[in-house]
Amino acid sequence: MSLPEEPKIRIQNVSYSYGGQPALSSVTLDVPANAISVFFGPAGGGKTTLLRLINRLNDLVEGTQMAGSILLDGQDLYAPEVNVTELRRRVGMVFALPLPLPGTVRENVLYGPQLAGVGDRTIQDEILMRSLTQAALWDEVKDRLDDPAVALSGGQQQRLCIARSLALEPQVLLLDEPTSGLDPISTAKVENSLFQLKENYTIIIVPHSVQQAARVADYAAFFLMGELIEHRPGNEIFVTPHHQRTEDYVTGRFG
């Protein structure tokens, strides 16, 4: 594996189960900074579970068990002294279906910053413009900031959700099938904004297709039934997979 020296996130021996049902079995994986990493594989492989472990959203689920550790910049995310709320501001998440919060475009973007205590109107306006621009949405909504967020199209709503996460200036952005409900044009817009964002952010995405995985991946990890099969730079794994099962999946023999 040709990874940079200091990985942003180190996933070490992570096993996880929901009510006795194993979802991940001893996954070890380094996620490099300022690159797009892709977790891909057939449904039920544990990609989304691993994603939700990185910002501890699975804390909200009852009856689960976890072993192993996840380090962000060398710090164990599951150490008792970790402030989970603070962690989630550093590790943003975008979900499969766009779910605008009740309220306007502006309120959606500023929800996180306001909870974090940003009250100054000038700073708020800066955040609003920066994050909507980063999510490639500013030009389309700059005159509709006070419209209800649900009035936007599906593609716009999903970019709004990305902007909403970016408003907190996270270091890591997790995206769980962010384009699964979008048309090709909106998908291209979202993917293009990811290419620009990786300059400053560490991005992990669960793609909704192998094609998308191949398009966006700097690094790709193939998951099958809770196991990490293969993790290599994207331009290698899709061209010359090392494992038979990866090849079978990439070439569409199963999925």
Partner 1 sequence: MDRHLVQRLGFALLSLVALVVVAPILLVVGAVVVRGSGAINWEFLTAMPRDGMKAGGILPALVGTVILTLGTALAAIPVGVGGAIYLSEYARDTWLTRAIRLAIINLAGIPSVVYGLFGLGLFVLFLQFGTSILAGSLTLAIMTLPVIISASEEALRAVPTEFRTVSASLGGTRWQGIRHIVLPQALPGIITGVILGLLRAAGETAPILFTVAAFYLPRLPRSPFDQTMALPYHLYVTSTQVPGMPMKIQYGTALVLLALVLSMNVVATIIRSYYRKRRQW
Give the Cβ contact number of residue 11 at 10 Å.
22
What are the two backbone dihedrals, phi and then psi, of residue 219, each rounded to the nearest 5 degrees?
Answer: -135, 145
Taking the C-alpha atoms of residue 193 and residue 173, their distance in angstroms, rounded to an integer, is 12
Contacts with partner 1 by CB under 8 A: the residue count is: 25
Residue 19 lies near partner 1 (rule: CB under 8 A): no
Q: State which of residues 62, 81, 139, 199 lies at the interface with partner 1 (CB under 8 A).
A: 62
Q: Judge whether 175 and 193 are in contact, CB under 8 Å.
A: no
Q: 78 CB contacts (<8 Å, ≥6 apart)?
A: 56, 66, 69, 70
Q: State which of residues 33, 82, 101, 145 lies at the interface with partner 1 (CB under 8 A).
A: 101
Q: State which of residues 8, 47, 106, 164 lies at the interface with partner 1 (CB under 8 A).
A: 164
Binding segment for partner 1 (CB under 8 A), chosen from 65-73, 95-103, 186-194, 242-250, is: 95-103
Q: State which of residues 55, 104, 156, 193 lies at the interface with partner 1 (CB under 8 A).
A: 55
Please identify, using beta-carbon distances, which residue of 62 and 143 lies nearer to partner 1. 62
Edge-to-edge strands, sheet with 36-40? 91-94, 172-176, 202-206, 36-40, 219-224, 227-233
Binding segment for partner 1 (CB under 8 A), chosen from 162-170, 183-191, 203-211, 244-252, is: 162-170
Taking the C-alpha atoms of residue 137 and residue 176, their distance in angstroms, rounded to an integer, is 19
Q: Which residues bind partner 1 (CB under 8 A)?
A: 55, 57, 60, 62, 85-86, 88-89, 92-93, 95, 97, 99-102, 111-112, 115-116, 148, 150, 164-165, 168
